[in-house]
Structure 1
Amino acid sequence: MRKLTLLLLCIVTLGLASCKKETYVRPNNLTIVKYIETNQWALSSDGLTYSATINDSRIDPRTFEDDGILVYISRGDTNIYEQLPFVYNVDAFSYSVKAGSLTIDVQSSDNQDTQPIKPSSRTRVKIVLIESYQ
Structure 2
Amino acid sequence: MKKLTILMLCIATLGLASCKKDTIVQSGANNLTIIKYIQPSEWQASSNGFTLSAALLDNRIDARTFEDDGILVYISRGDNNVYEQLPFVYDVNSYSYAVSQGRVDLDIQSSDFQNAIPTRPNTVTRVKIVLIESFQ
Question: Normalising TM by the smaller chain, what interval?
Answer: 0.7 to 0.9
Deviation (angstroms), 1:128: 0.2
Q: Distance in 2 between matches of 1:47 and 1:108?
A: 11
Q: Distance in 2 between matches of 1:23 and 1:105?
A: 36
CA deviations on 1:53-108 (whole Å, 9 max, x unpaired) are 00000000110000000000000001100000000010000000100110000000
Alignment: residue pair count: 113
| 1:12-23 matched pairs, under 5 angstroms | none
AA of the residue aligned to 1:75: R
Amino acid at match of 1:86: F
CA RMSD, 1 decimal? 1.3
Where do 5+ consecutive residues of structure 2 fail to align? 1-23
Aligned-pair distance for 1:110?
2.1
TM-score norm. by structure 2 comes to 0.80
- 1:1-134 map, 5 Å: 24-134=26-136
Q: Could you tell me the TM-score, scaled by structure 1's length? A: 0.81
Gaps of 5+ in 1: 1-21
* Runs of 4 or more consecutive aligned structure 1 residues displaced over 6 Å after TM superposition: none
Larger Rg: 1
